[in-house]
Structure 1
Amino acid sequence: MITLHEVHKRDCEDVKAAVLAFGARHPFDGARPDAEPDWKWAEKHFTRLIEVIMGTAALAQTRSTDTVHLAEDEAVQLLLTLNTVPRYRCPICVKQQRDAL
């Protein structure tokens, strides 16, 4: 599966900005607002986002390469869309918080 780092290396400045904004939604606990994001946490949530988009295909033992690529592309599109929303929250963080209640 594609990583946030690989997505960030793309030539498109909008994609780079969306990746950085998604990372900023995953600060280290107790970190200053201007501190470096917790990229491991952000990466984990990006991977989970791709899996959610794939749906039941993620549960199959053999994953179609096409299914994975489509889910990756949709996840990047979601990051681009979310980046236009002020102060959005990571959808995986929101789901985990809701599930914890």
Structure 2
Amino acid sequence: MITLHEVYEQGSEAVKAAVRSFGARHPVAGTDPDAEPDWKKAEQHFTHLIEVIMGASAFALPRTADIVRRAEREAVGFLLAVDGPAGYRCPICVKQQGSTR
């Protein structure tokens, strides 16, 4: 499965900006808002996002390369779609925060 870092390295300037924006939505807890994002957490959430997009097919069928590639493309499309909105939060973070309440 493609990593967030690989998406950044292989992507256009718009994709790179979207990856940086996604990373910024994962601040290191208790640090200055201008500090470097928690890239490990952002990477995990990007991978989880791909798995969510694959959905039931990821569990019902063997992980064929086509299913994974399609989910990866959709995940990158998602990053691009949410790059601009102010106040946007990572859906994986929101889901995890909701389950801990």
For the aligned pair, the TM-score class normalised by the smaller chain equals over 0.9
The aligned residue for residue 59 of structure 1 is 59
Query: Which stretches in structure 1 are left out of the alignment for 5+ residues?
Result: none
Query: Aligned partner of 1:66: which letter?
Result: D
The aligned residue for residue 72 of structure 1 is 72
Query: Aligned partner of 2:38: which letter?
Result: D
Query: Aligned partner of 1:26: which letter?
Result: H
Give the alignment of 1:21-60 within 5 angstroms: 21-60=21-60
What is the alpha-carbon root mean square deviation over aligned residues?
Answer: 1.2
Query: Aligned partner of 1:47: which letter?
Result: T
Distance 1:58 1:45 in 2: 17
TM-score (ref. length: structure 1)? 0.94
Q: Percent of counterpart pairs with the same letter?
A: 61
Query: Aligned partner of 1:81: which letter?
Result: A
Query: Aligned partner of 2:24: which letter?
Result: A
Query: Which stretches in structure 2 are left out of the alignment for 5+ residues?
Result: none
TM-score (ref. length: structure 2)? 0.94
- Stretch deviating more after TM superposition (54-63 or 39-48): 54-63
Number of residue pairs the alignment of both structures matches: 101
Deviation at 1:11, TM superposition (A): 4.2
Distance 1:80 1:60 in 2: 29
Distance 1:18 1:60 in 2: 31
Distance 2:67 2:84 in 1: 26
- Give a deviation string over 1:21-56, Cα, whole Å, max 9, x none: 000111111010100011100000000000000001
**Which runs of structure 1 show a deviation greater than 4 angstroms over 4 or more consecutive aligned residues?**
none
